[in-house]
Amino acid sequence: MSAAFAGLLLGLGVNSSAGAQEALGVHGTLEDQQDQPVAGVTITVADASGTEIAAVESGADGAWAVELDAEGTYVVTLDESTLPDGLLVRNGRPQLEVEVSSNRAVLFPLDTQLAEGVEPQQPGDDATDAGGESDSPEEETSDADTEDGEQLGAIEDEGGSTRAISLLVSGLHFGLMIALAAVGLSMVFGTTGLTNFAHGDLITFGGVMALMFNVAFGLPVWVAAILAVALGGAFGWAQDFGLWAPLRRKGIGLISMMIISIGLALLIRFATLFFFGGQRERYNEYVGQKPWDLGWLVIAPKEVVTGIIALVVCVAVALALLFTRLGKATRAVADNPALAESTGIDVNQVIRLVWTIGGALAAMSGVFLSISDGVKFDMGQHLLLLVFAAVVLGGLGTAFGAFIGSMLIGVFVQMSTLVIAPELKYVGALAVLIIIMLTRPQGILGRRERIG
């Protein structure tokens, strides 16, 4: 069945021309991440038996096309040696098997190996048009650079189970990234009751700070990451010190605080846009890393490393909550602030700590996501909704629930692309959020509230 080998990656760097679609054939446009056309790249088309039918070069506008005489399965190969230096095909898949029954767009997403001297791309260009003629449910749309800035390795052209495994693994990775952010959001909610709409911008903050250290100051990514996480913690601390603690002292209502957090989110987001611009930027290492191909799973080493670090951090936070004095105090405050206060816990100190850790974890999530997909000023805003979904799913205010919720959401978002169009995968996750509200509003681990 053609769907299993859809082999159509509607990715970055391709604009299918909507005009001449009556003829039978394959075509595409090669563009780099800055939407600059890539010329002089050899593309060969072979039929299912491996017989070469044609070889063409991309033109000055990056376009190439091969006309075909008969419908059927064809293998389209991009000769990577003809690519300009520094460019490669994302995920090392220069060969695609295509089912042709009309004039089909075949898309090779090109990735920059090194970000040195790269012109920024414009915001808004990144919503790639999917070209129209394919009705296969399994095609990936603009996976490399969706407006969400979330991407977990383009998984294309896989047979059923392999593809499912790859999606599962990328879902777990994504879930861990959500979890890093969700734990902080959930703990802030648990201890202060604040639904913090500015939490997504803590994620962006981490990604942006690491970018600054990495690209502007020339530090290696791992050093930049550590500094960004530390700064994220400091940012969380400062937010509580400078804003939230005084507001609590002033006795400002929770609803007002929630709306203040929206103002703060706008403020941080547009300040980022002001200083960094609207383009997606990448760190100068680990871009277009050659993936490990285990046969049943293709995964980039960076995903493995960031995933493992995130998991270790989540486990460490859980252990700290369970066994350290401060961790127990945190849970006590989340349980009942008044009671905790009366037993001699410094509630404000605990809340300050929660903000600091929350800020650091969110920043870490931002750095890790940026290592995979680059930094953009609104990346956190788009992720925030999934973080909310995760937190609600787990039960508002419980850190453990937030973790479980995150993993479920992460896996759900990725696995759902098996059945729905990838551009709708967030829609699926958000719909699930609403359905959970309907059936189990207190979440998986949450409790009902008391009245009277």
What residues make contact with ligand ADP under the rule CB under 6 A? 447-450
Q: Please, what is the Cα angle at 86 between 83 and 88, to 5 degrees?
A: 55
423 is a contact residue toward another protein (CB under 8 A) = yes
148: which residues sit within 8 A by CB, 6+ positions away?
Answer: 379, 382, 383, 426
Owner of token pair 């090669």: 30
| Residue 89 interacts with, from ligand ADP, another protein, none (CB under 5-8 Å by kind) | none
6: which residues sit within 8 A by CB, 6+ positions away?
Answer: 99, 134, 136, 138, 139, 156, 157
CA proximity to 200, closest of 243, 234, 149: 149
Owner of token pair 């611009």: 277
Nearer to another protein, 220 or 441 (CB): 441
One residue of 255, 323, 325, 338 binding another protein per CB under 8 A: 255
One residue of 224, 268, 329, 350 binding another protein per CB under 8 A: 268
Going 158 to 80 to 64 to 122, the CA torsion angle's sign is positive
Owner of token pair 């059936």: 439
One residue of 54, 165, 230, 385 binding another protein per CB under 8 A: 385
In terms of Cβ atoms closer than 10 Å to its own Cβ (0-12, 13-18, 19+), residue 344 is exposed
Nearer to another protein, 16 or 112 (CB): 16
One residue of 174, 205, 388, 412 binding another protein per CB under 8 A: 388
264 is a contact residue toward another protein (CB under 8 A) = yes
Q: Copy the structure tokens of residue 55.
A: 């070889």
CA proximity to 340, closest of 357, 361, 360, 354: 354
| Alpha carbon distances (Å) from 32 to 84, 145, 280 | 10, 12, 13
242 is a contact residue toward another protein (CB under 8 A) = no
Q: How far is the CB of 421 from another protein (least distance, A)?
A: 5
State the distance between the two ends of the chain, measured CA to CA, in whole angstroms: 61
270 is a contact residue toward another protein (CB under 8 A) = yes
259 is a contact residue toward another protein (CB under 8 A) = yes
Q: Please, what is the Cα angle at 115 between 209 and 384, to 5 degrees?
A: 40
Nearest-angstrom CA–CA distance, 167 and 169: 5
8 is a contact residue toward another protein (CB under 8 A) = no
What x-and-dash track marks residues 130-159 binding another protein by CB under 8 A?
Answer: x-x--------x------------------
260 is a contact residue toward another protein (CB under 8 A) = yes
Q: Which residue's CB atom is positioned nearest to ligand ADP?
A: 450
| Residue 46 interacts with, from another protein, ligand ADP, none (CB under 5-8 Å by kind) | none
Q: How far is the CB of 126 from another protein (least distance, A)?
A: 11
Nearer to another protein, 136 or 162 (CB): 136
Beta pairing class for 298-299 and 95-100: unpaired
Helix, strand, coil: what percent of the chain each, to 5?
Answer: 55, 10, 35
Nearer to another protein, 258 or 318 (CB): 258
433 is a contact residue toward another protein (CB under 8 A) = yes
Nearer to another protein, 306 or 417 (CB): 417
E strands present in 149-197? none
247 is a contact residue toward another protein (CB under 8 A) = yes
Binding site for another protein (CB under 8 A): 127, 129-130, 132, 141, 195, 243, 247, 250-256, 258-260, 262-271, 273-274, 277, 381, 385, 388-389, 392, 396, 421, 423-424, 426-427, 430-431, 433-434, 437-438, 441, 447-449, 451-452
